[in-house]
């Protein structure tokens, strides 16, 4: 999607939000249709395949509850990714407290890419999925947002609550790690 297309996309989201704010509930349906699939994929990439549907729903509920405060400084999708990622973090913390999830550190994080192995018939793609699955959580999130979702470093920084420079460094480290894995 080119920059112009992204701008059109953002303008359409803003118009839909405005319609919803003025009482048009059908605008909500269109907004959900536009972003639900990307949110579901992002949830899976964050290692939440089982809870993806629930996470998508909770993300929209939380987003629409705060839509009055959305100022369109970032794209709606970036904002939704931010909300969804925070929900994922909250769930992981809750699971860790209950002792259900022993994954505390960034390394060896569960990855949606592991589950892709069986689905990817092509050897190159299968190896790529494995390479991405071997990244640290932060690297994987940055790589996924940059490569698969086409987000800018600025948007990635917003979603991951980090700086633009740090997002760039994580991306290049991730790319180097993927290349090294594929070279082996």
Interacting residue ranges for another protein, rule: CB under 8 A: 1-4, 6, 20-25, 28-29, 32-33, 36-37, 40-41, 44-45, 49, 52-53, 56-57, 60-61, 64-65, 68, 112-113, 115-116, 119-120, 124-125, 128-129, 132, 143, 146-148, 150, 168, 172, 175-176, 178-179, 182-183
> Minimum CB separation from another protein for residue 13, in Å?
15
> Minimum CB separation from another protein for residue 99, in Å?
28
Which of residues 49 and 86 has its CB atom nearest to another protein in the complex? 49
Which of residues 21 and 93 has its CB atom nearest to another protein in the complex? 21
152-176: b or e for each residue (b if 16 or more CB lie within 10 Å)?
A: bbebbbbbbebeeeebeebbebbbe
> Minimum CB separation from another protein for residue 46, in Å?
10
> Minimum CB separation from another protein for residue 172, in Å?
8
Which of residues 40 and 82 has its CB atom nearest to another protein in the complex? 40
Which of residues 105 and 123 has its CB atom nearest to another protein in the complex? 123
> Minimum CB separation from another protein for residue 15, in Å?
14
């Amino acid at each position: 999607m080119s920059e112009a297309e992204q701008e059109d996309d953002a303008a359409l989201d803003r118009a839909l939000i405005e319609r919803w704010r003025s009482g048009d509930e059908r605008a909500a349906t269109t907004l959900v249709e536009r972003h639900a699939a990307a949110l579901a994929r992002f949830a899976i990439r964050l290692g939440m395949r089982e809870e993806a549907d629930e996470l998508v729903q909770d993300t929209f509920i939380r987003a629409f509850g705060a839509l009055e405060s959305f100022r369109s400084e970032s794209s709606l999708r970036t904002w939704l990714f931010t909300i969804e990622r925070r929900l994922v973090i909250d769930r992981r913390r809750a699971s860790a407290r209950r002792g259900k999830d022993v994954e505390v550190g960034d390394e060896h994080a569960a990855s949606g890419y592991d589950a892709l192995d069986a689905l990817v018939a092509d050897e190159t793609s299968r190896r790529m999925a494995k390479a991405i699955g071997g990244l640290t959580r932060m690297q994987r999130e940055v790589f996924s947002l940059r490569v698969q979702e086409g987000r800018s470093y600025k948007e990635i920084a917003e979603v991951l609550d980090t700086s633009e420079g740090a997002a760039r460094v994580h991306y290049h480290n991730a790319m180097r790690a993927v290349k090294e894995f594929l070279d082996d």
